[in-house]
Amino acid sequence: MNEVVLISLGAVAGALLRYATHVWLEQPGQLLPLPTLIVNLLGSLLIGWLYGAGWLGANEQLRLLAAVGFLGSLTTFSAFSLDTLRRIEAGHWGWALGYVLLSVLGGLAAVAGGSLLGRWGRGAF
C-alpha cells in the first residue's frame, strides 16, 4: 500500500482518538491536563510495545501506519520517549538527559516565545 495512504489512515485514527479523549475527559478549570497526559502516556506505552515486540523494525508498513501515522497524530511525545529510551539503551545517559532537558525546557521556551510573538503581532502588549 502507498506510504502516504498508510500514514494518512493512521493519522486520522490518531487525531480522532486524541479529540475523543479531550471531549471525554476535559473539565473546565482542570489543573492537571488529564487528556493530554493520558494520550502522551498511552502513545508512549504503545510505541514502547511496538518497539519491544520488534515490530517497528520488522514491518515498514506497520511502522508507517502505527508509529508515524497513528501515534504521530495522537502524540509526538511517544516518539520523544522512544528516542530517549534508545539513547539510554545505547548507554548514552548524558545525551538522553540532555535531550530530555533540552526538549522540555526548549519546548517551554518556544511556546512562551511563540505566545509573545503572537501577542505582539496582534498588538496585545
Tell me the pLDDT tens digit for each residue of 97-118. 999 999 999 889 988 888 888 8
| Structural domain includes residue 56 | yes
| Structural domain includes residue 92 | no
In the chain, the number of structural domains is 1
| Structural domain includes residue 89 | no
- Average pLDDT on 91-97 reads 96
Structural domain range at position 48? 3-75
Q: Which three cell numbers stand for residue 25?
A: 475527559
Question: Picking from 4-8, 12-16, 45-49, 54-58, which range would have the lowest pLDDT averaged per residue?
Answer: 54-58
| Structural domain includes residue 69 | yes
Given a contact cutoff of 8 angstroms between Cβ atoms, the answer to whether 3 and 64 are in contact is: yes
| Structural domain includes residue 120 | no
Q: Which residue has the higher pLDDT, 57 or 69?
A: 69
| Structural domain includes residue 19 | yes
The pLDDT of residue 125: 67
| Structural domain includes residue 103 | no
Residue type, 9: L
The pLDDT of residue 77: 87
CB-based contacts of 63: which residues, under 8 Å, 6+ apart?
50, 55, 56, 57
CB-based contacts of 110: which residues, under 8 Å, 6+ apart?
none
Q: Which three cell numbers stand for residue 92?
A: 548514552
